[in-house]
Chains A and B, each alone.
Chain A
């Protein structure tokens, strides 16, 4: 076995924020599941850190703009960086938007050494993406893992000399392994640095932690993170498709990507391989050849392959005029370029990775093909006080359904005091769809609710737009007032909610907002 490949890693810090087109000097943060994923320099100077709760971050930096994550856009805009890096060598390898790697042996000789290469890459990337100027991290070390850490931890102008990688890694904390379960156990065993973990005997690590532990142990010792049994596959594993008419639109490309990725996973399944690194190749009408390598730690699942191919095609098609291919794509090929024998993935407790989820993915993409990409949707828990706010819907084609089916939807993060008690209504209208209504008292006047949440009189009749007659209210509960976002004049909202049972037995939820009653939901 030869030693790890000398690798250069380009790392764009805060990419989830900067990809959305914000300048590092603006306080902006990207939030996922109510926690900060990334923030700009300006926000970090005010004390915002990754992993912080949204509310705490806003308290520290009130002027901060909070955005949702847009992974597709991150991948698309990263193509600008990759285009620059690929001018040094075509063998640029992507693992995730924001990071790419290249082997230095060839380009370093051309540019006059590792140090000169690193400086040239840093300067070119900074010039191509002005918001990255002075921020982009470039690290060179033996192996991609060490180079990635070098890009983050070493000041510009320095690099890890050949053979010094284990010494560079040794003092780093275990958390850089990004395997929280394993790291938790190791820390409880009294191991806190990569050096301490790497000093353990290999058989002991394999005996106790199996494959996962063995891989982490190799990384900690500065060895190549490629598993020993990765090999170039026989050529017949590649799949390709001729696109006629040529594809120039992003949505068409996404569809082609999906079907080709499905074919590749069938081919890989049949041959018993898992794919570690995938080459996405495309040819345009004018004969341009495009190539990118995507790598995955672990192995690429069918959903992950489709996602990466889609990112790549969108990246090419939406690049700036300088980098964009001059014509539509006429041919697309996927070449698994490093594979390992499929070990099967450890199934989750709930079944995971099952055939049924794969079928659901196929069905969803077929319906999306018939009706448009947003036609099939899946629910996602969002949390909220009102029935229509508790879930949001995501396009099924944008979600890895196999991964999602493996476990129940995560519980709501907050208890949401003021939620209506169970059971929940079976029919719920959103703000735009709900019918206008009137709740009347026995004298025929519209019932109002005062600041203390008391009704002006007992509700007696209910009428609503579209109903043939009005109904007598036989029983009622509430009104329960709720005041939301009172600190924000633009978004504040006062709502009183009233449950009613009508004379025909139907039960409804009426809400009073802005002086008007609406039918919000039916307990059908």
Chain B
């Protein structure tokens, strides 16, 4: 009997997957954890970030890249490094690749994911052919890194991301007609996509708060009148992005 149990146990041991699905995740710390399915980010996925894309991408990266993990930023030459630092990113473990020739995206990202856990990309429109994007996604899965695709104006990714985060700006506080300064912004973050996020989840955050970080909004502080913008906040319509286009940041 004992033998059989032992045999069954050893068999169970042998057929166990090498790595369990729930081991292949990155822990998410901070307020974003409550919004993501299971409070984690599966390794190897592509995340799309839109709305106030830069702040959200930085906040997400900072809450995932912990310990001694490195982060690479590709194709975002105009990224504000002070904002990156305020969001909690460790600048001493950051690699920046400003511009990548159109045919080289897959090889550059493939080289980077060997070393980094998170890659932020914002490639110019049509810079990445669909075939290269698929190869990159496969490489991501293999290496267990997370690709965050930042929807800067005129920047696109050929494939639909598996998880999508959108931050709709609601209102800035601290600034008036000629007084104060930009102090903090309330946003509504919507998470949708696969991996247990089929039903969109929504929550309000300060992004950035007055220290440049992401912070939850206390219920009593939630904006009601949405001043200084009267009426309902308009979600960022796709048409807004090109309209607001500053000359493509290179």
Distance of A500 from chain B, by nearest CB (Å): 9
B249 within 8 A of A: yes
Q: Are A523 and B212 in contact (CB under 8 A)?
A: no
- Given A421-B181, A429-B249, A499-B182, also A474-B81 (CB < 8 A): no
Given A426-B54, A426-B80, A499-B182, is A363 in contact with B244 using a C-beta cutoff of 8 Å?
no
Are B116 and A426 in contact, with the CB atoms below 8 A? Answer: no
Fill in one digit per residue for B179-221: 1 if any A CB lies within 8 Å of its CB, else 0.
Answer: 1111111000000000000000000000011111000000000
The minimal Cβ–Cβ distance linking A254 to chain B, given in whole angstroms, is 18
A2: min CB distance to chain B, Å: 44
| Chain A residues positioned under 8 Å from B182 (CB to CB) | 421, 423, 477, 499, 501, 507, 523
Cα distance A506–B82 in the bound complex, in angstroms? 19
Q: Is the CB of A409 within 8 A of B184?
A: no
29 pairs of residues in contact across A and B, judged by CB atoms under 8 Å: A356-B93, A357-B68, A359-B70, A360-B115, A371-B100, A377-B95, A387-B82, A390-B81, A391-B82, A391-B91, A421-B182, A422-B211, A423-B183, A423-B211, A424-B80, A424-B82, A426-B54, A426-B83, A427-B54, A428-B80, A433-B78, A433-B249, A433-B250, A458-B177, A466-B246, A467-B246, A477-B178, A505-B229, A524-B54
8 Å CB contacts to B: which residues of A395-415?
396, 404-409
> Do A424 and B96 contact each other (CB < 8 Å), given the known contacts A363-B116, A379-B91?
no
Chain A residues, CB < 8 A from B67: 351
A371 contacts across to B, CB distance below 8 A? 97, 100-101, 104, 108
Residue from A357, A363, A378, A393 with most neighbouring chain B CB atoms (10 Å): A363
Distance between Cα atoms of A387 and B78 in the complex (Å): 11
**Quick check: is B245 within 8 A (CB to CB) of the other chain?**
yes
| Residue contact A476 to B175, C-beta cutoff 8 Å | yes
Task: Determine the distance from Cα of A34 to Cα of B213 in the docked complex, in whole angstroms.
Answer: 30
Smallest CB-CB separation from B209: which chain A residue? A423
Q: How far is the CA of A464 from the CA of B169 in the complex (A)?
A: 21
Prevailing SS type, chain B contact patch: mixed
Name the one of B58, B94, B233 contacting A426, with C-beta atoms under 8 angstroms: B58
Whether B95 lies near A364 (C-beta < 8 A) is: yes
What string of 1s and 0s marks CB contacts (under 8 Å) between A416-451 and chain B? 000011111111110001010000000000000000
Q: Across the interface, do B179 and A477 meet the contact criterion of CB distance under 8 Å?
A: yes
B side interface size, CB within 8 A = 71
Q: By the criterion CB–CB under 8 Å, are B243 and A427 in contact?
A: no
Whether the Cβ atoms of A522 and B92 lie closer than 8 Å is no
**Closest Cβ–Cβ distance, residue B213 to chain A (whole Å):** 8
A269–B63 CA distance with the chains assembled, in angstroms:
34
Say yes or no: B249 contacts A427, CB within 8 Å: yes
Count of chain A to chain B residue pairs whose CB atoms are closer than 8 Å in the complex: 212
Chain A residue nearest to B212 in the complex (CB): A423
Q: Which of A362, A427, A455 makes the CB contact (< 8 A) with B80?
A: A427
The 10 closest A-B pairs by CB, nearest first: A426-B54, A363-B115, A423-B212, A424-B82, A423-B208, A359-B115, A524-B54, A428-B80, A366-B111, A391-B81
Residues of B with C-beta under 8 A to A376 = 95-97
Which residues of B are found within 8 Å of A507, using beta-carbon distances? 172, 182, 185
Given A523-B185, A524-B52, answer yes or no on A363-B114 (Cβ-Cβ < 8 Å): yes
| With A376-B97, A501-B182, A521-B80 as contacts: A474 and B228 at CB distance below 8 Å | yes
Residues of A within 8 A of B134 (CB): none
User: Do A468 and B81 touch across chains, with their CB atoms under 8 A apart?
Assistant: no
B interface residues, Cβ below 8 angstroms from A = 52-55, 58, 67-70, 72, 78-83, 85-86, 90-98, 100-101, 104, 107-108, 111-112, 114-116, 152, 169-172, 175-185, 208-212, 228-229, 233-234, 240, 242-247, 249-250
* Bound CA–CA A455/B180 (angstroms): 15
CB distance from A414 to the nearest CB of B (A): 15
Chain A residues with CB below 8 A from B176, complex form: 475, 477
**Per-position 1/0 for A494-524, Cβ under 8 A of B:** 0000010101111100000000000101111
Given contacts A379-B96, A396-B95, A426-B58, contact A504 B240 (CB under 8 A): yes
B94 adjacent to A378 (CB under 8 Å): yes
B81-A356 in contact (CB<8A) = no
Q: Is the CB of B95 within 8 A of A435?
A: no
Asked if A370 is at the interface (CB within 8 A of a chain B CB), the reply is yes
Give complex CA distance A354, B86 in Å: 24
Whole-angstrom distance between the alpha carbons of A466 and B241 in the complex? Answer: 12
User: Could you say which residues of chain B place their CB within 8 Å of the CB of A354?
Assistant: 68
Q: Is the CB of B247 within 8 A of A505?
A: no
Report A-chain residues with C-beta under 8 Å of the C-beta of B184.
423
Q: Which of A331-387 contact B (CB under 8 A)?
A: 350-351, 354, 356-357, 359-364, 366-367, 370-371, 375-379, 381, 387
* Min C-beta distance of B99 to chain A, whole Å: 8
Interface digits, A25-52 against B, CB 8 Å rule (1 contact, 0 not)?
A: 0000000000000000000000000000
In the complex, residue of chain A having the shortest beta-carbon distance to the beta carbon of B235: A505
Mask for A445-475, Cβ within 8 A of B = 1, else 0? 0000000000100100000111111000011
Query: CA A363 – CA B85 in complex, angstroms?
Result: 22
With A and B bound together, what is the CA distance between A478 and B91 in angstroms? 30
Contact B93 A504 (CB under 8 A): no
Are A424 and B249 interface neighbours, CB within 8 A? no
In contact, B81 and A499 (Cβ under 8 angstroms): no
Q: Interface readout for A106-137 with B: 1 if CB under 8 Å, 0 if not?
A: 00000000000000000000000000000000
Please tell me which one of the listed residues A426, A458, A468, A503 contacts residue B79 in the complex, with CB atoms under 8 A apart: A426
Partner of A424, one of B86, B101, B108, B242: B86
